[in-house]
Amino acid sequence: MGTMADTSALEPGSFRDPESRVFYAGDEVYRALSADGLGDFEALAATGLLDDPRLIGTRRADDVSALRGLLVHEPAGVLRHERIPFVSYPYEWTFSMLKDAALVQLDLLLAALEHDLVLKDSTPYNVQFRGATPQFVDIGSFERIREGEPWVGYRQFCMLYLYPLLLQSAKGVPFQPWLRGAIDGITPGQMRGLMSFRDRFRKGVFTNVFLHARLEKRYADRPDQVKQEVKRVFKKELFVANVRKMRKLVERQSWDPPEGVWTAYGERNSYTDDDAARKDAFVREVATSREWGLVWDIGANNGRYSRIAAEGARTVVAVDADQGPVELLYRDLRSEGDEKILTLTMNLADPSPGLGWRGLERRSMPERGTPDLVLALALIHHVAISANVPVKEFVDWLTSLRTALVIEFPTREDPMVKKLLAPKREGLHPDYELGFFERCLNEAFEVDRSERLESGTRVLYYARPKGR
């Protein structure tokens, strides 16, 4: 473990806690702990909570000699964690994913309080998904409770969990752009401005939004006074009661996609039964031709091909710009206990950027792990025509991933392509032609196989990057 302290292997999103820092050695994930952090971990280990499946698998590692410089304090211990197959962020989750992460965090907090432990923060970035199963990954967040200490993570929980859920549940406004726009979430004052007078009568809204915003404004320049007043009256029983009340409020939040979201999407109606069967067979043949480590299904819609890809992959990331089908897919996968397919909502024409300090705390999708195989089915016409991304630009982006590729090209005669072109001015997309697309593809990839579906307007390709 002598090379473990290489600072280039530090996790850039793990620097805010002076008692705990995540870093990597090869494929292994480690956490350096200060003396106080180690004491908190030992208290956690004594409770038996480390065996809870909602917590990331964690065990002690022995050698701390190479950890100097990783923490503000002198390192005193190191942990080894199981690795999450693919890191995701709250602004890429669906409504139910954020809600499930919130409930896991609150349940773990309640379990910790039974042992006089507490979670020092309340950020959804401490939760990751193994398929459709949320796991809490920040073991360093557990600490021994201090006498008279209130729920220090309450404001953060509101800003990053409760307010986004309320925004979508009560107002029908997707929360993802808000969380992507501010890494710390929605402030009480901002949330207050988004709610109407009538909203104050919703269960839990007056206390957690209107009153919260009012008190924060009143005591903005007197934080020490507030802290002393709270410590004087605060008891553990009140802490537990507040967390339980918040859990009930989160559980009450709900959102459903529009009726018929999958059929309204249109693509499923663009195939004959024969086309659909041929497409399934084509994708399955590639997916099961070897074991793929990581597969991206971009434009996943209802996850039909994500499920086929999972037959030959360790991990599948199913991405779609429309939260509706992704939400329904997540619910199905959750009920099945799936741990292979991670669902994300993201517009590939406006993907998740690097965010936070120096743009490194939250990484772009390729920086979190490039795929071995990409499925780009029923997608290129949306990117090229709806988002006005030139065909060659899209192929160049796929080329940059250095990945094998299954891609589908619907020709200009395809009903869906005609529908997308209909409102456009004549001649706006001269590059959207089968011949030009094939030239772009052949410049960067070795095309191993292609097949024109029976209807004649869609062509499938399996291609590998040149030189690999």
* 468 residues of the chain, pLDDT tens digit each: 444 444 447 777 776 777 788 888 888 888 888 889 999 999 999 999 999 999 999 999 876 555 555 555 677 888 999 999 999 999 999 999 999 999 999 999 999 999 999 999 999 999 999 999 999 999 999 999 987 778 889 999 999 999 999 999 999 999 999 999 999 999 999 999 999 989 888 888 888 998 888 888 776 665 555 445 445 446 788 889 999 999 999 999 999 998 765 544 444 556 788 889 999 999 999 999 999 999 999 999 999 999 999 999 999 999 999 999 999 999 999 999 999 999 999 999 999 999 988 888 999 999 999 999 999 999 999 999 999 999 999 999 999 999 999 999 999 999 999 999 999 999 899 999 999 999 999 999 999 999 999 989 999 999 999 876
Asked if residue 401 lies in contact with residue 361, where contact means CB atoms within 8 angstroms, the answer is no
User: For position 65, what pLDDT does the model report?
Assistant: 52
User: For position 231, what pLDDT does the model report?
Assistant: 52
d(CA 27, CA 329): 30
The residue ranges of DSSP E strands in 9-148, in sequence order, are: 20-25, 28-34, 58-61, 75-81, 117-119, 127-130, 133-136, 142-144
d(CA 312, CA 288): 5
d(CA 327, CA 263): 15
Asked if residue 38 lies in contact with residue 27, where contact means CB atoms within 8 angstroms, the answer is no
Residues 6+ apart with CB under 8 A from 430: none
User: For position 408, what pLDDT does the model report?
Assistant: 97
Token pair 């870093």: residue:
23
d(CA 94, CA 76): 39
Residues 6+ apart with CB under 8 A from 84: 56, 128, 129, 130, 135, 137
Q: State the number of CA atoms in the 13 A half-sphere of 299 facing the CB.
A: 19
Token pair 């032609």: residue:
433
User: For position 463, what pLDDT does the model report?
Assistant: 98
From the centroid of its chain, how far is CA 376? Answer: 20
**Can you give the residue ranges of every domain in the chain?**
7-81, 90-252, 261-465
Q: Please, what is the Cα angle at 56 between 317 and 305, to 5 degrees?
A: 15
DSSP 260: T
User: For position 24, what pLDDT does the model report?
Assistant: 84
Asked if residue 122 lies in contact with residue 105, where contact means CB atoms within 8 angstroms, the answer is yes
Question: Dihedrals φ, ψ of 184, to 5°?
Answer: -95, 0
d(CA 6, CA 154): 35
For the domain made up of 261-465, give the CATH fold. Rossmann fold (3.40.50)
d(CA 143, CA 157): 17
In the structure encoding, which two tokens stand for residue 9, read together? 């292997």
User: For position 64, what pLDDT does the model report?
Assistant: 56
CB neighbours of residue 256 within 10 Å? 12
> What is each CA distance from 270 to 267, 284, 453, in whole angstroms?
5, 20, 12
User: For position 5, what pLDDT does the model report?
Assistant: 45
User: For position 244, what pLDDT does the model report?
Assistant: 96
CATH of domain 90-252: 1.10.510
d(CA 174, CA 4): 41
d(CA 159, CA 170): 16
Asked if residue 123 lies in contact with residue 184, where contact means CB atoms within 8 angstroms, the answer is no
Give the chain's radius of gyration (CA, Å). Answer: 25
Q: Look at residues 105, 150, 96 and name the one whose alpha carbon lies nearest to residue 124.
A: 105
Instruction: Give me the helix-helix angle, 323-336 and 95-113, nearest 10°.
Output: 50
User: For position 260, what pLDDT does the model report?
Assistant: 65
By three-state DSSP, how is residue 166 classified? Answer: helix
Residues 6+ apart with CB under 8 A from 93: 101, 124, 129, 176, 344, 345
Long-range contacts of 213-221 (CB under 8 A, 24+ apart): 213/188, 213/189, 216/155, 216/187, 216/188, 216/189, 217/189
CB neighbours of residue 412 within 10 Å? 14
The sign of the dihedral angle between the CA atoms of 97, 103, 104, 106 is positive
User: For position 220, what pLDDT does the model report?
Assistant: 64
